[in-house]
Chain A
Amino acid sequence: MEPDDAELISRTLVERDPRAFDQLVLRYQSPVRSLLRRLTGGNEALADDLGQETFLIAWRKLGNFRNESRFSTWLHQIAYRTFLAHTRSRRDHEPLDDHSNPGSVDSTARGSDFQHDLEIAMLKLSESERAVVTLCLGSSLTHDEAANVLQLPIGTVKTHLLRGREKLRTQLAEWNS
């Protein structure tokens, strides 16, 4: 049977077992990297770099994890803050375009026409809408958890989700038939 998150965290902290942390990485790297890919507008290299930074911070701060939320929520929170820190530092050098890279689409989308259209439609959402849609629909976080990750009021999260979904529906309307 697969050990649960609490057991792996405990083994990492108490026994300093790197394999335990590795299991946590393998378990959560995909949703974390997916979130970052969406936030960076499909920039895979940057998203993976921020993903590495996310897990490095998690490794350093694992002792601070209080079990008040799910481990995945905590990781998403670190990932989002890592992205914000990157965005802030980039703003110092160049103006941020919210739809920064509309031509670049996640390579995971290339296999399917709908996925391809979806990725392009995602790029047309605002940064906050994209984050909420990815967390709530892609990573299956609850509204509460998404609000916790993004440090937004729950009402704002619901509004972003509603608007984001509507925009996606409009963009992808031709697939409704």
Chain B
Amino acid sequence: MKSPDHDPLDMLLDQSLQSASLRLDGEKFSRQLAVRIANENRRIKLVRLIPIGMGVLAAIIVTLFAPTKIDFSSDLSTLVSLWETTRPALTGLMQSIPGAHNLAVLWGAFAALAIIFNFWFVYQDSHEFLL
């Protein structure tokens, strides 16, 4: 921006303020930033893996504790009836096996953690800046 008048002190001020903005060496800054971006990318990948891991864990638990062997490839209806099949099985399991209740709580805790993680990142995203 131009100075409103041509006062020597104003001109000196403008020149000094502008020249101070041009002198910082960016090489080291840029290298450090590249490392931080690489770490950030790794963190994002890891966070994306959490829900997948939760899903895999849930599938393993369901498959292990289902009363009949489920052939996932045979029919889509098998998937639809999965919940109906597993619900009584899990209820029965919780009643019959000591410690099964703890397993259910653990499973619930995993799911809750996944939800909290997701909300946290969504919150961070929206909270930081609305740009």
Contacts and interface: CB of A to CB of B under 8 A. Distances in A.
B131 A52 contact: no
A13 to B, nearest CB: 14
A108 B23 contact: yes
A53 to B, nearest CB: 9
Contacts, number: 98
B108 to A, nearest CB: 32
B18 A140 contact: yes
Given A34-B24, A52-B33, A138-B20, A172 B13 contact: yes
Contact of B33 (A31, A56, A74): A56
B16 A57 contact: no
Interface of B is mostly: helix
A59 B16 contact: no
Nearest to B35: A52
A148 B126 CA distance: 19
A7 interface: no
B9 interface: yes
Contacts of B10: 165, 169
A26 to B, nearest CB: 5
Contact of A108 (B12, B13, B20, B33): B20
A141 B1 contact: yes
Give the interface residue-count category, chain A.
Answer: 35 or more
B17 interface: yes
Interface string B113-131: 0000000000000001101
Contact of A139 (B12, B13, B21, B23): B21
Contacts of B33: 25, 52, 55-56
Contact of A30 (B1, B12, B26, B129): B26
28 contacts: A18-B34, A25-B26, A29-B29, A34-B21, A52-B29, A52-B36, A56-B37, A56-B40, A77-B131, A108-B20, A108-B23, A109-B20, A112-B16, A115-B16, A118-B17, A137-B14, A137-B17, A137-B18, A138-B18, A138-B21, A139-B21, A140-B1, A140-B18, A142-B1, A143-B1, A168-B13, A169-B13, A175-B9
Given A33-B24, A51-B29, A74-B131, 14 more contacts: A21-B37, A22-B34, A25-B26, A25-B29, A26-B27, A26-B30, A29-B24, A34-B24, A52-B36, A78-B129, A108-B24, A138-B17, A169-B10, A172-B13
